[in-house]
Amino acid sequence: MSVVLQGTGVTKIFGGLTAMAEVDFTLEEGGIYGLIGPNGAGKSTLFNLITGYYPLTSGDIAFGGRSLGTMATYRRNQIGIARAFQISKPFPALTVLENVTVGAMFGGHGRGSASDIARHAIRTAGLEDVAHRHAQELTVGTLRKLEIARAIATGPKLLLADEPCAGLNPSETVEMVACLRSVREQGTTIWLVEHDMRAVTQVCERIFVIDAGRKVAEGTPDEVVNDPHVISAYLGEPAESILA
């Protein structure tokens, strides 16, 4: 498989604080990856570096073999990087379909009409039953799926999903896991930050673990949850207790 995203020596320093130190990562096309670690470990910083909200201090991030350098955030979206945020901020007075259509209008070009793209994104996210409801009427779980739908309407090759399961009840989490799998089936690579370890181990094929701005582990879900360093730095207890 081809490499979608690769980071080499990714480093970010804010004044005297090293928020990210020499982190390497490789994401292959069509996979679902996880990014876990304690609060303040640098997970959001890494996503901000990938999307261009922060400039790199040193190192390099390449997308599809092309160094992103100082490319503007909107250009990164145009070439295929989308981000779904933990806190969804749709246009409350617009319907689900209208919100997703806005995302389609600002995505890659030449993929068909914005309304057709939006309807496809809504089907992928499992939102057909609420397509004509206003965003202000939606539950938290449905808003999270709307955030995913708006992101994938831009036509990304890579979706960065920031805690899509946070605050969801068990049934909503099951729906979100199904939603993410559906997005991947459309050919989009996914990298998600998530604290719900059950969801992470269910949906992710490979997991990166960072602590204090450094990568401390990488591997399959089984390898990561049984890694003594990960248990000590993040999980706090054996995997059997957490995933039981």
pLDDT-derived band at 237, boundaries 50, 70, 90: low
Count CA atoms within 13 Å of residue 239 on its CB side: 14
Mean predicted confidence (pLDDT) in 10-27: 96
Whether 234 shows a pLDDT value over 80: the answer reads: no
Q: Which helix (H) or strand (E) holds 97?
A: helix 96-105
Cα-Cα-Cα-Cα dihedral of 141, 147, 149, 150, to 10°? Answer: 160
pLDDT digits (tens, 9 = 90+) for 154-193: 999 999 999 999 889 999 999 999 999 999 998 999 999 9
pLDDT-derived band at 143, boundaries 50, 70, 90: very high
Whether 138 shows a pLDDT value over 80: the answer reads: yes
* CA nearest neighbour of 173 among 156, 193, 198, 150: 198
pLDDT at 231: 85
pLDDT digits (tens, 9 = 90+) for 60-108: 999 999 999 999 999 999 999 999 998 888 999 999 999 999 988 876 5
Instruction: Look up the CATH architecture of domain 1-80+194-244.
Output: 3-Layer(aba) Sandwich (3.40)
Mean predicted confidence (pLDDT) in 100-119: 81
Percent of the chain with pLDDT over 90: 79
User: Residue 67, Cβ neighbours under 10 Å: how many?
Assistant: 12
Whether 122 shows a pLDDT value over 80: the answer reads: yes
pLDDT at 107: 67
Whether 110 shows a pLDDT value over 80: the answer reads: no
pLDDT at 83: 95
Domains of the chain, by residue range, sit at: 1-80+194-244
Q: State how far the Cα of 27 lies from the Cα of 6, in Å rounded to an integer.
A: 6
pLDDT-derived band at 229, boundaries 50, 70, 90: confident
